Amino acid sequence: MIRFLQQSGQTTKYILGGLLLIICASMVITLIPGGLGTDILGTGPGKGFVAKVDGTEISADEVRLTARQMLQQQMPQGSSANMSMLLPFFSQRAAEQLITRQALISEARHMGLRVSMEEVKEELQHGRYAATFFPGGNFIGQQEYEDMLQRANLTPTKFENSVADDLLLAKLQALISGSASVSDNEIHDQFVKQNTKVKFDYALLKQDDLKKGLRPTETELKAFYQSHLSTYGNSIPEKRKVKYAVIDTNKIESGIQVTQDDLNNYYRDHRDAYRVPEQVKVSHILIKTPLAGPDGKVDEKGAAEAQHRAEDLLRQIKSGAKFEDLAKKYSEDPGSAKEGGSLGWIGRGQTVPEFEKTAFSLPRGQISDLVKSSYGFHIIRVDDKHDAHLKSLDEVRSDIEPVLKHQKAQQIAQKQADGLLKDARSTTLDAAAAKQDIPVITSDFFAKRDMLPGLGPSPQFMEAVFAAQEKAPPDMAPTSQGTAVYELLAIKPPATPTFEEIRTRVEDEFKTEQSRTLLTQKAQELSDRAKAEHDLKKAAKELGATMKTSDLVLPDGQVPDIGSMSGQASVAFTMKPGEISGPITSGSDAAVLQIVDNQQPTDADFTAKRDQIRDSLLQGKQQERFGLFVSNLVDEMTKSGKIKRNQEELKALTRTASESGM
């Protein structure tokens, strides 16, 4: 299908390795051969398949590949050990995402939605893949296109089908979310809610102050210990004693030499990772145009007003006004306005087409005329540009050398550890370690959460030691330093401490429980007295509370000792000046508020923020509507049997995911 996209002219051939990984990660339905098999008889998913969705099977291999891609995107610099530990979690997520994606594709087709080859063509040539396959507007060539896909284990058919599926899902989401709307009353109510300011006096009680005044008797403490004996049962954890010898990978790595041939070979095999796409560093000023109403029509008067404001800003810039100052004051893109309009570096496919076309065509330092997009009117300035290029070996030498050193050190360390373990099992650990001139450390009894000398935080080592059987032969496990060969010497089972052994702990927990109860009682009494006397300051003095006064604060603000105003303290925004609140708890503190001032926002503020609030509310409603649709669809298809999960395969996948190679 790609052939008819080819254009005449010089072909630019380069591969965007990083982008291709993202492409692969979004192609999760059609990556694996057999992933689109149908089920004529309606039976459940077979061996090697985690689910069947409306007749389409999703393979375990497909889930593994998707999980690895998700993990690589989120942790591009993660170590192999950390990534292996996280694979079970990502495998669960990958399985559910694949099931959900296939359910949505199936539903879209049942609803009669379709994607034409012309739409796929348009997406490849002008959408998010344009920079990869059409750099500079020219097709890279059929052979190069097929080679790129082959390196990602894709065929043109699978890739183009997956692009079509993505477009199909976009149509479905637009259809489901498109009917969402917000009323003027909703916009105004949200505006008032977000922009009302309050100032208040507050009386503060601290649990720590109450706790310091408690003097429990020995009888009270012993009674508390007995009543909480189930809590203290076996609270002394199991402890173990081991001897171990550490193969330190870091020490080995410090002596590794990397040759020029090593660097050349690695660079040659990983060239795609060092390709840099065309990028521009841009700033912009955005003046938004009104969104379409429920009838699909746009307020033409509002659009004309927005254009007039944008034209006026452009005239000011051309007359010498500072771009950054105007952006901070007038731009309606909240993310970039505070940065003087700067969007930083962007690549192709990251912005709307009108913006991208202008940004990539302007010379460095030039400012555009007005650019109209679906968001409104933009004034764009190109601050810098980078052409697509391949980083040289000299540029990436400092990145490659540590990787090669670590790889070589791991190979040497693994060989040493294997030899040490073999000798330890045939003789003793002490004799085997002496042979390699490695010190042997004998620990005291330690708990699973403790840290051992020379190991640092080593959860995998601890898991192995606490899973080992007494009198088992020596074994090895990874540590934060490398690998340790260990021998389990003894085990102390969990135990229940006597009152005398944990008296200090019992006293602290008794005081904490009593002071918490006392805090609740005193805070309620403080509120009741203040309301009865109409005087918070007097009640605070009588009960020993500390009086403080807040600044004017918004609903998303913070107040010392109170914390976030979006929690219990949000009641302040519903109160009138002079009113006194009930008790408000914040961690180990409690307070009672009396409103000093309640400032409502002005109509002028509403006019300035109306469109921004409307956009935010509409986006939230659209996301909520589509999210509910997705949730209901998956539930209904599961109940009706259109989604069948292979629980055994899912359990096996999660259980073995950490053992899979990256």
Domain residue ranges of the chain, discontinuous segments joined by + = 2-179+623-659, 197-233+501-599, 239-268+393-492, 279-386
Taking the chain, what is the end-to-end CA distance rounded to the nearest angstrom? 33
Task: Give the residue-averaged pLDDT of 156-174.
Answer: 91
The predicted pLDDT at position 321 comes to 94
Report which of residues 655 and 2 the model is more confident about. 655
* Residues ≥6 apart with Cβ < 8 Å to 82: 75
Task: Give the residue-averaged pLDDT of 243-264.
Answer: 92
Kindly report the average pLDDT of the chain as a whole number: 86
The predicted pLDDT at position 579 comes to 96
Structure tokens at 202: 């507050």
Q: What topology does CATH give the domain 279-386?
A: Chitinase A; domain 3 (3.10.50)
Task: Give the residue-averaged pLDDT of 644-660.
Answer: 70
| % of the chain residues with pLDDT over 70 | 89
CATH topology of 2-179+623-659 equal to that of 279-386? no
pLDDT band at 7 (very low <50, low <70, confident <90, very high): very low
Report which of residues 98 and 126 the model is more confident about. 98
Report which of residues 510 and 124 the model is more confident about. 510
Cα 577 to Cα 196: distance, rounded to the nearest angstrom: 13
pLDDT band at 393 (very low <50, low <70, confident <90, very high): very high
pTM listed for this prediction: 0.53
Q: What topology does CATH give the domain 2-179+623-659?
A: Triger factor/SurA peptide-binding fold (1.10.4030)
The predicted pLDDT at position 617 comes to 92
The predicted pLDDT at position 656 comes to 46
Task: Give the residue-averaged pLDDT of 295-304.
Answer: 78
pLDDT per position as a tens digit, 168-203:
999 999 899 888 889 999 999 999 999 999 999 999
Per-residue pLDDT at 436 exceeds 80: yes
The predicted pLDDT at position 26 comes to 45
pLDDT per position as a tens digit, 563-621:
999 999 999 999 999 999 999 998 899 999 999 999 999 888 898 888 889 998 999 99
Helices (H), ranges, 31-141? 60-74, 80-110, 117-126, 130-133
pLDDT per position as a tens digit, 493-532:
999 999 999 999 999 999 999 999 999 999 999 999 999 9
| Long-range Cβ contact pairs of 551-557 (< 8 A, separation 24 or more) | 551/199, 552/197, 552/198, 552/199, 552/597, 552/599, 553/197, 553/198, 553/199, 554/194, 554/195, 554/196, 554/197, 555/193, 555/194, 555/196, 556/194
The predicted pLDDT at position 8 comes to 31
Per-residue pLDDT at 73 exceeds 70: yes
Cα 334 to Cα 348: distance, rounded to the nearest angstrom: 22
Task: Give the residue-averaged pLDDT of 630-659.
Answer: 82
